[in-house]
Amino acid sequence: MMDELKIHSNKKLKQIVFVVFVLSLFIPFIQKQFNLVKEKPLNGFFDVAAFPRFSSETWKAGTFQQDFEKAINDNIGFHDLFVKLQCQINYSIYNISKFQTVIVGKNGYLYDKGYIDGYTGNDFIGKERIDLQIEKAEAVQNELQKKNIALLFAFAPGKASFFPEYIPDKLNTFSSADSTNYTCYLNAIKNTGINYIDLRKYFLSLKETTKFPIYSQIGVHWGQYACYLAMDTIAKKIAQLKHIRLPSYRLTQLQWSDTLIRTDRDEGDLMNVFTPLPHYQMAQFTLAYYKDEKSTKPNLLAISDSYFSNIVATNMVDSLFSGWSYWNYNRGTPSDKNEKEFHFKKEIEKRDVILLLATDASLAAFPFGFIDEAYEQYAPRNKNYYQLKQKEFKLFTLETMKNIDNNKAWKKQLVAIAKQKGTLPIDEFINAAVWCFREKEKNLKEKTAN
């Protein structure tokens, strides 16, 4: 009798376990359909796959099955909760991030992979390309100076170059001390008359003495106090270049805060973990401004990566300049809201000062196409112009040829074209490189035509 009860009890337990297991499989679908539990979304930018349309072609190719599986995974109920759970396990047990761009360093310091690559030279674009940009920039500065427009380069620090000691050892390696974009830009610009300030060097000089943090432990943008120091340095340089006196200002309040603003915890937010990340206090400040009859507020155009947006958030730009525009990565927009079309030359010549600012992570793309465009617009069509364009043509086509050689699909396509035409593959590689250069020049001329 006891054996029969035991068998019956075990059978009932198995049935309960089976029912619970089956129900657990359906819970995510129920959540997706009825949204019974309100989920907090993931921080960051994620592409959610849409469900594909069925066709016999996609089914036979196997792409429908792959796309459908991805759509199921991206749209399932509790998807964000499961991702956060995986993020927490990765961080708590393995001290890593689920997302490749977020790097967990020593002592809880977080980095963006791009800043480490910029610091170590892993994104080095080559001395020749940097020299070409500086040669163009010098010509642009000379022509803008004739129109009483000052051009100013600013090299900002990055989280990795300011805190290299916390970078994971396996990522903190240099191929060569001179093979970084920062080093090459500084070496090239020092031999010219181009106006520039080295904010990276300036901030590193303050590292051991400043009482207030320049960077947060879990952010990759500079903090409010660093923004104040950067804008103060830029403003003094502008006053010197323009022979003017900007409005005066002074710190009226500087206090510590346990609560981090968004840009001081941006990399921490991308970790998408449940537990709070360790961080120290950051300084927040208030400024008072004083403008008299002798002070001048110039018009500023800033072409920069996201670091300039932090300065804008402090209200210093509004207070020191009569008008200003910020072209994020040189994405130009009309300064007059009533103008529907963008006119490159018109926008440039509204300004008193043009600031080109970049941190380590964006120097590989610096100065974001602006100098190329301004050179086409303003450089005299003399012997130097055509010699430099010839140099640019050779450099661009050689780089494109290397890219073709490293791109298996592109290389395979050109080899097939050569076989079909009865030509050598190298001839098709050259033709493709020349075509790419001509297209680049065509787009450049169209952008600067107005």
Same domain for 247 and 392? no
Does residue 239 have a pLDDT over 80?
yes
Residues 221, 293 within the same domain? yes
- Cis status of the peptide bond prior to 367, with omega within 30 of 0: yes
pLDDT over 60 at 23, yes or no:
no
* Whether residues 268 and 324 fall in one domain: yes
pLDDT tens sequence across 185-213: 999 999 899 999 999 999 999 999 999 99
CB atoms within 10 A of CB 35: 10
Which secondary structure element, helix H or strand E, spans residue 30, and what is its range? helix 2-34
Q: Are 238 and 280 part of one and the same domain?
A: yes
Phi, psi dihedrals of residue 304, rounded to the nearest 5°: -155, 170
- Inside any domain, residue 3: no
Indicate whether 6 belongs to any domain. no
| Whole-number Å distance between alpha carbons of 381 and 231 | 36
User: To which H or E segment does residue 358 belong?
Assistant: strand 353-358
Query: Which range of residues forms the domain containing residue 77?
Result: 17-104
Task: Give yes or no: residues 171 and 283 share one domain.
Answer: yes
* Domain's final residue, options 57, 82, 104: 104
Let me know whether 58 and 141 are in one domain. no
Q: Model pTM greater than 0.75? A: yes
Q: What are phi and psi of 216, to 5 degrees?
A: -80, 160
383-398 pLDDT, tens digit per residue, is: 999 999 999 999 999 9
Element containing residue 420 per DSSP (H, E): helix 408-421
Query: Are 257 and 406 members of one domain?
Result: no
Indicate if the pLDDT at residue 374 is higher than 80. yes
Domain count, the chain: 3
Task: Clarify whether residues 140 and 273 are in a common domain.
Answer: yes
Q: Tell me which of 52, 86, 104 is where a domain ends.
A: 104
Distance of alpha carbon 67 from alpha carbon 55, whole angstroms: 12
Of residues 247 and 176, more confidently modeled: 247
Beta strands 248-257; 150-155: pairing state: unpaired
Counting residues of the chain whose pLDDT is more than 70, the rounded percentage is: 86
Summarize the confidence of residues 41-51 as an average pLDDT: 65
Q: Which two tokens stand for residue 326?
A: 């910020």
Q: Give the mean pLDDT of 27-37.
A: 58
Which of the listed residues 104, 132, 155 is the one where a domain comes to its end?
Answer: 104
Answer whether residue 338 is part of any domain: yes
User: Mind listing the pLDDT tens digit for each residue in 302-312?
Assistant: 999 999 999 99
Residues 177, 160, single domain; the answer is yes
Residues 118 and 242 in one domain: yes
- Specify whether 340 is located in the same domain as 414: no
Contact at 8 Å (CB) between 109 and 160?
Answer: no
- Kindly tell me if the per-residue pLDDT of 108 is higher than 60: yes
pLDDT over 90 (residue 221): yes
